[in-house]
Structure 1
Amino acid sequence: MKELLNTLAVQRWDDHRYYHHSRINQSLHLLSAICFLISYALLFVDPAKAALLAWCVSMTSRQAGHFFFEPRGYDHVNQASDAHKEEIKIGYNIQRKIVLLAVWVALPALLWLQPSLFGLITPATDLQGFLHDVGMAWLALGVAGLVFRVLQLWIQQSFMTGFAWATKIITDPFHDIYLYHKAPLHLLRGELIDPMEHVKTPG
């Protein structure tokens, strides 16, 4: 348990200090976290709707923060290039995210063209049924993406690294609310970039 908590703490710290300098990105993560928590509750009531909310609001706002607002140049706070950070990223770096999001976009198109998913499911007969099938497909994609990366990390590094990362991903909404609940206030004050004074090392 101690090893898990230590590994998790390191992964969370690296994620924050390397990839969340933009106050807009932090604010979008706050929105994403709140919607993810609602999705967690919906999982017990309507898994398809939970996945629709998670992917259409939580994931899009979260990834928009990274793609469009997070600085991609040299990181003077951590003395690291963007290429270096992308190479060492534990989770989904930009390249992996593009692949994942491409599959996300392709799934509704596939269900539209193949409502029965090549005979694997009962085809939807109306819009509500189609949205349900899309939601379930996206839920399966989320689980598959999580498991796939855990297995990759297990092979490339260690089981603990992958297990800690999965724990981090699942609990990120709670942690993001804790970290970034003041980000919108900083934005209202005109601060677009977190000065990261708590990250900088002397020297």
Structure 2
Amino acid sequence: MIKNFLQELRTQRWDDHRYYHHSRINQSLHFVSALSFLFAYVMLFFDPAISALVGWLVSMTSRQAGHFFFEPRGYDHINQATHEHKEEIKVGYNLQRKVVLMAIWALSPLVLFADPTLFGLFAPWETVFDFTRQVAKIWLAVGIGGLLFRTVHLFFIRDIETGLVWMAKIITDPFHDLMLYHKAPLALLKGELIDPGLHLAGELEQKHA
């Protein structure tokens, strides 16, 4: 059971890396995202509001900017897959789902203008500081909700193990990304825009296929 879980976790991580992390800029932004996420993890125990602000304003924006603006979307010759195929088989949030999630995040503060108490959950905000901390709490709920929603969704469209593995992958991604992409900023400074290691790994995988 545990062996299968860990193997599925390795598979999901490898697929995510080889399909969606060709760009050194994207990898570098993931490195920044990983560092800030680890800070947010620590702050979650001391100040959840600060954790949510850092998690969304730094970690998530840098992470998703890498995917939306810098990752190649043409035909993937290494993996012999079209962008559309990769989006279709994506286990977690593909770009279309990410647009929905990021839109919910960006628009969620508006509910505090419609109802400053958020249906009685908050005291009405009076200062910018109050508003910011209440927004942070909403963003924390959006983050946790997005994680749980896709996990349960995977229970139904795939299976329970796939959902649990994906949730474990998302939670541990900052640690894994830190190890995987810590050399990306230096490679980018040397003018390397695409990770050449993916070509080598792709060729090795095809030989053993």
Whether the TM-score (by the shorter chain) exceeds 0.5 is yes
Return the alpha-carbon distance in structure 2 between the equivalents of residues 161 and 36 of structure 1: 23
Q: Greater helix percent: which structure?
A: 2
- Amino acid aligned to 1:198: A
Bigger CA drift: 58-67 or 113-122?
113-122
**1:114 Cα deviation after fit:** 2.1
Unaligned runs of 5+ in 1: none
Return the alpha-carbon distance in structure 2 between the equivalents of residues 116 and 107 of structure 1: 14
For residue 101 of structure 1, what is the aligned residue in structure 2? 102
Is 1:48 the counterpart of 2:49? The answer is: yes
* 1:67 match: secondary structure: helix
User: Equivalences for 1:163-182 in 2 at 5 Å?
Assistant: 163-182=164-183
For residue 5 of structure 2, what is the aligned residue in structure 1? 4
User: Equivalences for 1:38-117 in 2 at 5 Å?
Assistant: 38-117=39-118
For residue 26 of structure 1, what is the aligned residue in structure 2? 27
Is 1:132 the counterpart of 2:133? The answer is: yes
**1:116 Cα deviation after fit:** 1.1
- Amino acid aligned to 1:15: D
For residue 193 of structure 1, what is the aligned residue in structure 2? 194
- Amino acid aligned to 1:155: F
For residue 14 of structure 1, what is the aligned residue in structure 2? 15
Return the alpha-carbon distance in structure 1 between the equivalents of residues 44 and 123 of structure 2: 22
Percent identical pairs in the alignment equals 59
* 2:119 match: secondary structure: coil
**1:202 Cα deviation after fit:** 4.5
For residue 38 of structure 2, what is the aligned residue in structure 1? 37
Deviations 1:89-128 (A, max 9, x none): 0000011001001100111122133211133321111111
* 2:192 match: secondary structure: coil
Deviations 1:139-173 (A, max 9, x none): 00011001100111000111000000000000000
- Amino acid aligned to 1:129: D
Return the alpha-carbon distance in structure 1 between the equivalents of residues 63 and 202 of structure 2: 22
**1:26 Cα deviation after fit:** 0.1
Q: How many residues align?
A: 203
Return the alpha-carbon distance in structure 2 between the equivalents of residues 84 and 189 of structure 1: 32
Is 1:184 the counterpart of 2:193? The answer is: no
* 1:167 match: secondary structure: helix
